Amino acid sequence: MVKLTDYTAEKVRTLCTGPEDLRARWIDNDERAEIIRQLAERGIDFPSVAIQAGKPDTDPFDLLCHLAFNAPLLTRRQRADRVKKQETNFFRFFSPEAREILEDLLEKYAADGEIQFTLPDVLKVPPISQHGNVNEIVGKFGGADQLRAAVNQLQSLLYAA
C-alpha cells in the first residue's frame, strides 16, 4: 500500500519539475489555486498529508517541496517571522493602520494556515475585522486595488525564499 506522503510526492513531481518551479508557480495566486485543485482532484488534501507526515504546522508549499524534492521544511511561523524581519521596506511603505492589518494577516497565516487571503472574506474575520468594516479597511490602503496589491505582495513575500 502506498503511503499518502509518497503518493503526494509523486503527484507533485508530475506537476512541477523542481522546488524552484513549484515556488514560481506557488507565488502566483491563480497558479497556486490550480496546483491545489489538481492535487485535490487526485485525492490529496493538505491537512491529511501534514498529519501523516507529522508536520501539522508546516506550510503546504514547504510540505510539498519537502516530500517531492527533499527540500528543508519551514513552519508557517518561521515563514511569517522571516517576512516580518527581512521585509521591513515592504511594511514601511504603508500607514501604521495598514501595516497593522498586514501584520495581522501574517499572524492569521502563522496561526491558522490560511494560504490564500481571499478578499474581501478575510477582512470580515478576527483579528482583521477588528480594524473596521470592509470599506474602512479598504480605505486604510487607499482603495481596493491598493489593498489587493498589498495582500498579493505579502503572499509573494511569504514564498520568496
Q: What is the pLDDT along the chain (161 residues), one digit of tens a residue?
A: 679 999 999 999 999 999 999 999 998 888 998 999 999 999 999 889 999 999 988 889 999 999 999 999 988 999 999 999 999 999 999 999 999 999 999 998 998 876 567 788 888 888 899 999 999 999 999 999 999 999 989 988 998 86
Residue-level pLDDT at 161: 65
| Same domain, yes or no: 151 and 84 | yes
The model's pTM is 0.85
Of the residues 69, 88, 122, the one at which a domain ends: 69
Q: Verify that 151 and 81 share a domain, yes or no.
A: yes
Of the three residues 51, 69, 87, the one that is the final residue of a domain is: 69
Give the domain-ending residue among 41, 69, 97.
69
- Answer yes or no: do 34 and 10 share one domain: yes
The predicted pLDDT at position 125 comes to 86
- Which structural domain, as residue segments, surrounds residue 42? 4-69
Q: Are residues 93 and 143 in the same domain?
A: yes
> Do residues 81 and 22 share a domain?
no
Residue 136: what pLDDT?
Answer: 96
Question: Are 91 and 124 in the same domain?
Answer: yes
- Looking at the fold, whether 62 and 96 belong to one and the same domain comes out as no
Task: Report the alpha-carbon distance of residue 140 to residue 94 in Å, rounded.
Answer: 9
Looking at residue 62, what is its pLDDT?
94
Number of structural domains in the chain: 2
